């Protein structure tokens, strides 16, 4: 008995019927959906505008003309080149170095000079005690001409993606070394 009275107090015009609830829900969903749709229409272009340069990071996947193919010999040579970078809204130019060489089959490859120990810069044939090797002056890492790690460093030197087009060597992004496997 008392529970019946409480029900009338909470809902003076009687409890809502199933039909009224569903109409209310329908309106809520419709208005909410339309608002969300309009909001997304206004906000998404702004997000895209802000994020777009990050998604389209310039530099990745591009090849840069670095050296004349005719000048590449079986002795590694050092070449430097400029890479235009676009990081978000920030444009900059990085100067990169590659050690380029022709292997026994005449295939040209280019090694990154970044030591795989802690990131110092290696040089070719720069340690008299170990001729014809790459040597890192920081902690003594050594590598073969294919970039195979001989001491200190845990991995072979990385290499650049390489493309020969006409008379020129083009270099692309830096990738893990695949030359060492050819040696084995």
Residues forming contacts to ligand FES in the complex (CB under 6 A) are 115, 117-120, 136, 138-141, 152
Q: How far is CA 74 from the centre of its chain?
A: 31
d(C-alpha 110, C-alpha 179), whole Å: 10
C-alpha to C-alpha distances, 70 to 67, 106, 164, nearest whole angstrom: 9, 11, 11
Nearer to ligand FES, 162 or 177 (CB): 177
Minimum CB–partner distance for residue 132 and ligand FES (Å): 18
Nearer to ligand FES, 52 or 78 (CB): 78
Nearer to ligand FES, 113 or 169 (CB): 113
Minimum CB–partner distance for residue 55 and ligand FES (Å): 33
d(C-alpha 98, C-alpha 76), whole Å: 9
Nearer to ligand FES, 72 or 98 (CB): 98
Q: Tokens in use for 5? A: 């009275």
Minimum CB–partner distance for residue 147 and ligand FES (Å): 13
C-alpha dihedral, 151 to 140 to 171 to 182, nearest 10°:
-20
Minimum CB–partner distance for residue 114 and ligand FES (Å): 9
């Amino acid at each position: 008995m008392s529970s019946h009275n409480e029900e009338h107090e909470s809902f003076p015009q009687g409890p809502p019927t199933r039909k009224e609830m569903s109409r209310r829900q329908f309106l809520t969903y419709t208005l909410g959906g339309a608002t969300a749709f309009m909001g997304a229409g206004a906000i998404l272009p702004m997000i895209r505008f802000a994020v777009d340069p990050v998604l389209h990071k310039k530099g990745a996947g591009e090849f840069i003309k670095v050296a004349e193919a005719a000048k590449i010999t079986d002795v590694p040579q050092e070449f430097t080149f400029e890479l235009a970078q676009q990081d978000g809204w920030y444009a900059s130019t990085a100067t990169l170095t590659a050690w380029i060489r022709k292997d026994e089959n005449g295939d040209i490859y280019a090694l990154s000079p970044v030591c795989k120990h802690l990131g110092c810069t290696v040089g070719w044939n720069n340690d008299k005690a170990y001729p014809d090797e790459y040597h890192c002056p920081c902690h003594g890492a050594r590598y073969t001409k294919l970039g195979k790690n001989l001491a200190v460093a845990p991995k072979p030197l990385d290499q650049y993606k390489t493309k020969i087009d006409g008379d020129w060597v083009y270099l692309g992004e830096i990738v893990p070394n695949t030359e060492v496997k050819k040696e084995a």
